[in-house]
Structure 1
Amino acid sequence: MDSGIECTLSRFADDTKLCGAADTLEGRDAIQRDLDRLERWAHANLRKFNKTNCRVLHLHLGRGNPKHRYGLGSDWPESSPGGKDLGVLVDERLHMSPQCALAAQKANRILGCTRRSVASRSREVILPLYSTLLRPHLEYCLQFWSPCHKRDMDVLERVQRRATRMIRGLEHLSYGDRLRELGLFSLEKRRLRGDLLVAYQSLKGAYKKAGEGLLRMSGNGGTRGNGLKLEMGRFRWDVRKKFFPMRVVRHWTRLPREVVEAPSLEGFKARLEGALSNLIQWEVSLPRAGGLELDVL
């Protein structure tokens, strides 16, 4: 299927997505040529695309996207303001607030069902149910859609607040005291921990080959810091600063040397626990830069 394709073709099970930069006329023409190739491939192999489910997502990452129309055979798929990609809700400006609300909604429904159907309120029952049934919805594919606005963080954190308040004997404690009593992290701290674990795996662990180029070591030979600093890449549009390769750099650089030089993932996890409390800070707003337009079908 991908023979001769100029743009990026992503496939998973029976889903196929074509993505290309549409900031020039040539870029838009390349997307259309690829769609024509896919239509010819389907005809030659006696296949058929479900064109009623085909949509075009125009990503607005800077200047106005002209929203060029694309044809797939004799059909002209409609534009969509957003859509799900492997269960993650993506809108045309890559804002993650809708995904945060969706994840919290799913988790709250399960929490309500648990409250109605489980009589016990002991920590031995509620805590495993929360960890197994609820929290995965709040952390699925999190490196992609991790919230950066306080309102979105609060939407997710409220789910864990409600779950911990269900446990008998902890109802009158503050949220922080409940977490300490249960040996839990806040979701914000878990997200940061998850980012740093993925960074370690990409630099020194199991993801090193697959993640090559995702994170780059800085060539600065200064002696300050942990000695394994990451390079902050340049970005043309403001939303890019929220992406995983950007947001993890500052936190990784602030880790002590003995943490980043851990010889194994287990050693890194153990040393990371003591360093997490000093790493959480609010993001500083960066100036808005120029844009890039993408179209995804």
Structure 2
Amino acid sequence: MYADDIKLYVAHNNDNTRDILVHDLKELEKWSLSNGLTISIEKCLAIYLGKNNTKKDYYINNNDVAKCNVARDLGVYIDDKLSFNYHIDSIIKKTYRQIYLILKIFKIRDLKNLVFIYKTYIRPHLEYATQVWSGALNTQNGTRLERVQKYYTRQIFRRCGLVPKTYKDRLTVCNIDELSRRRGLADLYMAYNIMNSQTSLNPNKYFIFARSKRKPFMLQNKRYKNVGKNNFFIRIINPWNKLPKEFLGIKTIKTFKNHLKKISLVCRLSGLRLILKKFFFSF
């Protein structure tokens, strides 16, 4: 028997809140002892958020919990500034290594197969859990991510002996979208799933629905501090509210995706804004 990926956290306003976390750690010690499980202290980390955080010490079984600036949680590197710069650096380096190995191993010169390889083995690394970190993207990091796809498409065009084209032309030929646009779509897909109870999240806990007969699923803006502007549940409000009301009656995520793909979207790299230019329906 084993347990993994346990997380405890507290909003540190005063010493009383710190005592709550200390108490929970003691309860965790008791639970692990009664269940015959050993806590691996060397894998335990404490990350502190906020510039005024006093960074109190925490202990498990009288062992000091190591402090860190970056922690990996379910494949995403979280830093103490919530900038996700370390995570972005990591996935960019990883995908470049994969591109090098794949182009070295696979000697094929068929564009269709090379695009399939990209979609299957490379792009997923650039898009894993984007709902968590894409809100923190600045222009520089957004450009760096897009540059990976630019590089790969340029390399496969050269390999296949095709006439060099602009990046947008290569995307059209390969039938793939810009990564920035796909991140915007991923946010909308997640919002749809949450609102239609396709996840374990309670939509009423994370969204405030406006009282609108015209658009019953229209979201109401929340008050937030500057640090919260990149939160998924904040940044998705404006893009979601810009969707035509016909979208809100769609019953399945598959149909929602199909109709959303018919819309020409212009997304800012930060993911904070989405402009609908044209849309076509075929109900």
TM-score (norm 1): 0.82
Give 2:145's aligned residue: 156
Query: Which SS does the other structure have where 2:62 is aligned?
Result: coil
Is residue 133 from structure 1 mapped to residue 125 from structure 2 by the alignment? no
- The corresponding residue for 2:268 is 281
Q: Does 1:33 align with 2:23?
A: yes
User: Cα distance, 1:227 vs. partner?
Assistant: 5.5
Bigger drift between 190-199 and 167-176 goes to 167-176
User: Which residue is equivalent to 1:22?
Assistant: 12
Q: Which residue of structure 2 aligns with residue 73 of structure 1?
A: 61
Question: C-alpha displacement at 1:239, in angstroms?
Answer: 2.7
Query: Which residue of the partner structure matches residue 104 of structure 1?
Result: 92
% identical equivalent positions: 27
Maintained 8 Å contact 2:206/2:233: yes
Match 1:265 to one of 248, 253, 263: 253
Q: Deviations over 1:231-255 (max 9, x none)?
A: 222223x231111111111111111
| Residue in structure 2 matched with residue 217 of structure 1 by the alignment | 209
Normalising by structure 2, what TM-score? 0.86
CA distance 1:104–1:284, change in 2 (3 Å): closer
User: Secondary structure of the residue that 1:17 maps to in structure 2?
Assistant: coil
**Aligned-pair Cα RMSD in Å:** 2.3
Q: Relative contact order: is structure 1 or structure 2 higher (C-alpha 8 Å, sep ≥ 6)?
A: 1
Number of aligned residue pairs: give it: 267
Provide the rounded CA distance (Å) in 1 between the counterparts of 2:119 and 2:163. Answer: 19
CA displacement, residues 4-42 of structure 1 (integer Å, 9 cap, x when unaligned):
xxxxxxxx9523221111121111010111111222223
What is the alpha-carbon distance in structure 2 between the residues aligned to residue 73 and residue 31 of structure 1? Answer: 14
1:59–1:92 Cα contact (<8 Å) kept = yes
Q: What are the ranges of 5 or more consecutive residues in structure 2 without an aligned counterpart?
A: 273-283
Question: Any stretches of 5+ residues in structure 1 without a counterpart?
Answer: 1-11, 286-297
Change beyond 3 A, Cα 1:27–1:260: same
Q: State the one-letter code of the partner of 1:40.
A: K
Higher mean displacement: 23-32 or 73-82: 73-82
Mapped to 2, the partners of 1:200 and 1:20 lie a distance apart of 29
Letter in 2 for 1:200: Y
Residue 59 of structure 1 corresponds to: 49
Q: Which residue of 2 aligns with 1:9?
A: none
Query: Cα–Cα, structure 1 residues 112 and 283, in superposed 2: closer, same or farther, change >3 Å?
Result: closer
